[in-house]
Amino acid sequence: MKYLSNLLFLILFTSCQITETISINSDGSGDIKVEQIRDENSYMQLAGEEYSKENIFQDTTYVFKEYINKYQENFSRYTAEEQQLFRKYENVKVRLKKSSFEKEYKNELSLHFNKVSEIPDLFKTENYASDIQHNYALTAENHYYKIEYNFDGKTFKRSVSITNRAELEKAKEESEKFLTKYGSSKLVQNYILKYHFPFKIKSVSNSKAVISSDKKSLTLEFLLSDFSRNPEMTDLEVILE
């Protein structure tokens, strides 16, 4: 993935639906799952004649720590700080399904956590696994944003910060080109947050969030093309009763 142009990445990124689901228990533990499913009708519009030429099959499941164990020699070459960063991903489970025959492209990343602050930026998981396998420098650090989470028992925060302004500007430029070319197409490009809390929601920072009837869950949707231009728009603060 690190060799893809920004525009090609945007085409792949904006022809799918991403659902990020977090469930938090009363003791602060819980589960997170990120599912990325390619929408075939959308991708067919973007890929054109290349769509029929796809010939790939992959069905892979692994836990991140398997890469640490298997490529221990490479892992040992990283600095203590880098190794500590990798350790945050140890228990992340990955399921990759790519089938040009079944026309099914799906990525699943999941983790059980003891506290919300343990949740890593799951979108970097595959990059880091590849780094360990091939003894690369940390390619995921080329991402221009990072996602962090926190919960103190009453206030939940999803925080997105920009880490590379130059890359953000490139992403904005490519997004404008994408919208100029494909803006009139009817594409599925949803980024959906689904969060479940142990107590009732008192307030949410984003007024577009839809709160469930029992007030313990919310759903919030964005367009992936908007997210690529402004990742910080997905910041969220939820205060519980």
pLDDT at 3: 35
Secondary structure of residue 185 in the 3-state scheme: coil
For residue 166, pLDDT over 80 is answered with yes
pLDDT at 57 over 80: yes
**How do strand 190-196 and strand 16-24 relate by DSSP bridges?**
parallel
Instruction: Decide: helix, strand or coil at residue 229.
Output: helix
To the nearest 10°, the Cα dihedral for 23, 28, 30, 32?
Answer: 70
Q: Which residues contact 1 (CB under 8 A, 6 or more apart)?
A: 9, 126, 127
Q: Which residue has the tokens 């594409």?
A: 187
- Average pLDDT of the chain, as a whole number: 88
Lowest-confidence range among 7-21, 52-66, 130-144, 212-226?
7-21
pLDDT at 5: 43
The least confident of 139-143, 161-165, 219-223 is 139-143
Look at 37 and 158; give whichever has higher pLDDT.
158
| Contact (Cβ atoms closer than 8 angstroms) between residue 216 and residue 197 | yes
Enclosing H/E stretch for 174: helix 165-182
The whole-model pTM stands at 0.89
Higher pLDDT, 208 or 180: 208
Provide the residue type at 50 as one letter: E
What pLDDT does residue 154 have? 97
> What is the band of 236 on the pLDDT scale with cuts at 50, 70, 90?
very high
Please check the confidence at residue 96 and state whether its pLDDT lies above 80: yes
- What is the average pLDDT across 151-178? 91
pLDDT of residue 160: 96
Distance CA 127, CA 134 (A): 11
| Extended beta strands in the chain, E state | 16-24, 30-38, 57-63, 93-99, 104-113, 145-151, 155-162, 190-196, 201-204, 210-211, 217-223, 236-240
Query: Hey, what are 232's tokens?
Result: 């910080």
Of the pLDDT bands very low, low, confident and very high (cuts 50, 70, 90), residue 181 is confident
Q: Which residue has the higher pLDDT, 207 or 225?
A: 207
| Overall average pLDDT of the 106-115 stretch | 96
